[in-house]
Amino acid sequence: MDEQTKIELEAAAFRRLRQHLMEERTDVQNIDMMNLAGFCRNCLSRWYQEAANERGIDMDKTAAREIFYRMSMDEWKSTYQTEATPDQQAAFTESHKTS
């Protein structure tokens, strides 16, 4: 497989992951993703921002999140995000302990 095809396939997989998380599984909370997988939608938007910055594109966290979420964080939170339960918060604390 040539490099350009590989890049295009990786980009397509990323777009599909974003579609899945942003359209099909809006019920899955970021804290649950962090607890189970160690990353969430915010991480993906940060990685997007970092990739842009590495290429000399000036992009801040807010802009990256709006590109990834396709809406403002305030809109996402009010539409889809629920308050973290004590169990979710405890699992987050446990899963992010440093030794």
Tokens 């019920």 correspond to what residue? 27
Q: What is the pLDDT of residue 99?
A: 54
pLDDT tens figures, 70-79: 999 999 999 9
Is residue 97 classed exposed, middle or buried when 0-12, 13-18 and 19+ CB atoms within 10 A define those classes? Answer: exposed
In this structure, what token pair is assigned to residue 39? 């990353």
Q: Which helix (H) or strand (E) holds 34?
A: helix 30-37
Calculate ∠ Cα 65-40-12, nearest 5°.
75
CATH topology of domain 3-91: SMc04008-like fold (1.10.3340)
Residue 14 has pLDDT above 70, yes or no: yes
pLDDT tens figures, 34-49: 999 999 999 999 999 9
In this structure, what token pair is assigned to residue 63? 């802009």
Q: What is the rounded CA–CA span in Å between residue 99 and residue 97?
A: 7
pTM, rounded to two decimals: 0.86
Judge whether 49 and 61 are in contact, CB under 8 Å: yes
